[in-house]
Amino acid sequence: MRHRPATYLEAEEVRAILARPNPATVEGGRDYALLLFLYNTGARVSEAADLCWSDLQLTAPRLVCLHGKGRKDRLLPLWRDTVAALHRLRMNAQPDRQPHVFLNRRGEALSRDGIAYILRRHVQGATQALPTLDRKRITPHVLRHSCAVALLQSGTDITVIRDYLGHASIATTGRYLSTNLQTKRDALETFWQHAGIRPVRAKAWKPTPNLLAFLDSL
């Protein structure tokens, strides 16, 4: 069976999109934190929309608890840059009144459509600097694919990626959680080095049909 290539972004394309929001403004800071969070974690758009401040630990060890499908939670490490962006966002937040992290102009939790609109707006702006973006239909789910591809490119085992993206149940014992989180943290560091926000030289990557099928399943 032939699979259509899954749409994903290369690191330079992600960087071009992340360069569009102005972190010095309240709205720009929210947009930057949101887009970086999606790329860092490979979160589903619904997981980002539902994210609350109580799900985040912004001090070491920096992590987030995402609430996935089937009431399956997973812990994921966060880049320092992601934590810094979330810290800036929290300075203007009132968690006691609105527990959600990503809010619209009315102070309500962003909807899935709202998140998609924010991404689309910044993609349109980034297209001026990087015309290749114009040939792709980029949705929040494409950032999830992009996270998976960056992890694959960095040599992370596919079973770790399945767990990272919420395709495997997480054990409840403390010992497993500790080992599991450290494995993800190692994968995240490799991900950062290979396809992080700071420019790096990366080799061309050609996915196999099996990996394309895996991306389609996300």
> Token digits for 100?
């959600």
In a domain, 130, yes or no: yes
The alpha carbon torsion through 33, 36, 41, 44 (nearest 10 deg) reads 80
Q: What are 180-193's pLDDT values in tens digits?
A: 566 677 777 777 77
Please give the residue range of the domain that contains residue 72. Answer: 11-216
- Roughly how many angstroms between the first and final C-alpha of the chain, as a whole number? 18
In a domain, 3, yes or no: no
Q: What are 29-79's pLDDT values in tens digits?
A: 999 999 999 999 999 999 999 999 999 999 999 999 999 877 789 999 999
CA 94, distance to chain mean position in Å, is 24
Taking a C-beta distance cutoff of 8 angstroms, is the pair 89, 29 a contact? yes
Would you name the residues annotated as active-site residues? 44, 69, 141, 144, 167, 176
> Token digits for 26?
């309240």
In a domain, 5, yes or no: no
Strand order in the sheet with 63-67: 56-57, 63-67, 73-77
Residues 24, 5: Cα–Cα separation, whole Å: 37
In a domain, 114, yes or no: yes
CA 121, distance to chain mean position in Å, is 17
In a domain, 6, yes or no: no
Which residues does 187 contact at the CB level (< 8 Å), separation at least 6? 151, 154, 156, 160, 161, 164
In a domain, 169, yes or no: yes
Residue 4 one-letter amino acid:
R
Structural domains of the chain, count? 1
In a domain, 4, yes or no: no
Of the two residues 214 and 125, the one the predictor is more confident about is 125
Query: Which residue's entry shows tokens 């979160």?
Result: 43
In a domain, 112, yes or no: yes
CATH number of 155's domain: 1.10.443.10
Q: What are 105-125's pLDDT values in tens digits?
A: 999 999 999 999 999 999 999
Residues 68, 46: Cα–Cα separation, whole Å: 9
pTM for the whole structure: 0.79
Residue 29 one-letter amino acid:
G
Mean pLDDT of the chain: 84
pLDDT for res 181: 60
The band of 171, judged by pLDDT with boundaries at 50, 70 and 90, is very low
The pLDDT of residue 170 is above 80: no
pLDDT for res 192: 75
